[in-house]
Amino acid sequence: MKFNAEHHPHRRFNPLTGDWVLVSPHRARRPWQGQVEKAPTETRPAYDPGCYLCPGNERAGGISNPDYSETFVFTNDFQALLPEQVEAVQPGNPLLQLEPVHGTCRVICFSPRHNLTLQEMDPPDIRTVIDLWADQTRELGREYTWVQVFQNQGAMMGASNPHPHGQIWAGSALPDVPSREETNQRAYFQKEGTSLLIAYADLEAECGERVVLQNEDWLVVVPFWAVWPFETLLLPRRPIQRLPDVRDSERSSLAAILKRLLIRYDNLFETPFPYSMGWHGAPFLQQNQDHWQLHAHFFPPLLRSASVRKFLVGYEMLAEAQRDLTPEQAARRLQDLPDTHYRQVENG
């Protein structure tokens, strides 16, 4: 029997992290009798007096927000990392290791409007968010090793408040995932003399099969090694280490392609699409970082419809990640979607 990647189970390697993913395309035809999620409520007011992120409202920690008119950033009232540096006594056994960490966690409100998602904002306003991401990364990078810009969109991905917002966590340690990316990008650069993700972007642009969107500065692909059903990877077309290094014109083109990508996500199942996304830029280490390439990951959980999600459980937790839909099939689904948001079409 001749191998067919869209019919036969196989494994794919992620050179960025060193992980493998099991692809089982034949399973996409099985009936679903598992959990069905509640459809998200789409109607929200522009201002919610009970929302702790809306302008002028009191937050859960007792501090009131200013009457902000565009983006707004503040230190999280319930931080996962704290700025104080402390010493700790090791447990005394190599099987029991710990190390103190310090840092800070910030919240970014994308807009004062409670009902305005990133994809429904105008590109100049998205550009304002990008500028803030870059400014915060530059500022926090002066003190901390790792600066993680990210967003959890939707209750399905753990967003604790429906007001569109993101977060920035900065810490003294290099976390596991970027640590693996650091190791693998450095090894590839030392062997090949070029960036792993620059080479990968060139390969995907030439192939085109998994490219969802592209413009002069940016490329969006469903990566060959994707785990989540409609996972995408956003890549610059030239070497860029960190968000502050993105040029003025590139920030505007980034805003445009971000809007197009997120609209396509919403259009896929005609629902506000849940996802977790985040930027990975070079850590702030003493060593040369020429091997690093800036990139953003988008991890959306929806699999079959607005109410059926992918779960990473069982085999995924105990062995390795597994997916049913091939990355190429997912890319075709996203490629075929319009750039106009479905709610604009409905409203004429």
Active-site residues, by number, are 165
Q: Dihedral sign, CA of 243, 245, 248, 254?
A: negative
What distance in Å separates the CA atoms of residue 243 and residue 294, rounded to the nearest whole number? Answer: 7
CB-neighbour burial class of residue 62 (10 A; exposed 0-12, middle 13-18, buried 19+): exposed
Which residue has tokens 């592209």? 214
- β 19-23/10-14 pair status: antiparallel
Neighbours of 77 (CB within 10 A): 13
Residue 149's beta-bridge partner residues? Answer: 168, 279
Taking only Cα atoms into account, the Rg of the chain, rounded to an integer number of angstroms, comes to 21
How would you write 49-112 as a 3-class SS string?
CCCCCCCCCECCCCCECCCCCCCEEEECCCCCCCCCCCCCCCCCECCECCCCCCEEEEEEECCC
Distances in Å between the Cα of 193 and the Cα atoms of 17, 97, 122, 185, 196 are 19, 36, 40, 11, 9
Residue 234's beta-bridge partner residues? Answer: 220, 296
